[in-house]
Structure 1
């Protein structure tokens, strides 16, 4: 199945599942006698500080989806804010409460196999959300992460234009503990390798702006002020840090790209400080994951929703993968505004009004 067919099928599957769940909405289970609701979905997200998307978008969207499909269902939510040990405790707490479906976006996906096994031993199902947790998870819902990296790389090439063939690139990748980061990196290399002169410096920024700053400063010391023609940053938080570090070093007119379509990044794209960001429409991802969670709560078959498959350490994980979208200055109106992520008035407030008018954002 090609990418286009897979995305169309994925969208149809989510819509069909939502209808079937709505039709059986009167059959919700009641709370157990011990006071623990059997209609509780656990939601564990990984970050607050280094990426704002989880609190601003994923959590409320998932809550809305689950609530709309399952009367009486509730979300038991926690955010680890980058702390692996804290997330392990949050996971254990959900199991101790008797929660039977847990949506997990892991801080460190490499350590989760024992968690998933412990959940299975207690009859609980784990959905890997956005990042593929190791272990025999019931389903995986995310974007096509290698394709995301490829789109990032292509956007950086387009920002460089005819200078690409002679350009030396710096790459600040995501955390090595995050399997998505490895896929972003692989996709970016697929786009960039052989099309730029050289990847002159490449390190992990660990999804942390302060680490990205340190790595950018090291790249400047290693390559010199004239030795950097563009920077690939795996997300917007690190891209912001890279841009500031380059400014502090007196380096100008170097394209820097990111990912996540955060408000500050969209504004940097608008003003030309950042070359592009990547918009992952959070609602389809949250809708898909929330729908699968309710389906699992009801003991329903999820094969129509998670019809693709991703290999993970010898396991074939039922998966649903969605398509990311590149956002440049010319595409802000058609993507993040047209898609309903932000209102033009939010983006264009205060000092950004003139840039919005010039870019046709309204």
Structure 2
């Protein structure tokens, strides 16, 4: 069973059902039923037209559910006869579904959550992890969002900023390796950039390309995490970097700065440095200042503390860190790194161990644990 194929087909199948008249919530339920049936039957009897098969089965599930619900009986008057099985139109409804999920009646957080679940294919648990809320809370949020857009057709675009946040979260989820959606997010960002003339759309696409260009170097042969400063830059995709930089420069030239353009500028400065030692940290600090002004985000200020530590020394970085909330995600890891650079290896080892316990994924936890162990071993050797 090719799960990647199924994930890629879901948006198109869902879009077809909605365009045929199914409300969003019922359409998603029907598509999920069709996916379950596909997992059960495809290994022994794979269809020649997977998308057409899913559309046919999902549409039948929708009709069955509609007819079985007496409260929805009136909807049958509006439901057309079941289309004959056969090839389905080669129409990509994915972007239209993103805009539906970014409907003005939804809060930004609900719109993002609904899109990640219904179009991106992430589980409720994964979305809850991204928001740092309990899974039950996220499940209720998604259910309410589905009810809100129920009956809304695909002819009312939503908020572009919300769509961009959705794409960014999808990209980050894929980039982490838990769910490989990074390439799909880039594809959708390209489509969005082709139809919407907006510098922040271009900024997001540039940011994705610049990050994705480093993907091959982010892990070692053993699967362990490789920090940016230690990556083999010869493994970076220079063609993708050049494309990202070109898109970013064109966006910045329009003088309508937004947070994705600023983030892309930071990524471009990293990509432009032949070695870690040649990174222009002074400019990176300046871009983080712009980002902080645009977003007032504590996470941005956390990243800025790292950049300050590189540009002005670890003591300056620790001073910038001291004014932030210690409960921020990855605060302990940043503090550990800056203390290590300042020569306080005992504090650094303790903080690396603390950060490892709080790490959001196994790769990061293992990396932080190894750093703590290395510092402790070095201190033990010196004490002998």
TM-score in terms of structure 1 length: 0.26
Tell me which of the two structures has the higher relative contact order, counting C-alpha pairs closer than 8 angstroms and 6 or more residues apart: 1
Larger Rg belongs to: 2
Q: Structure 1 or 2: larger helix share?
A: 2
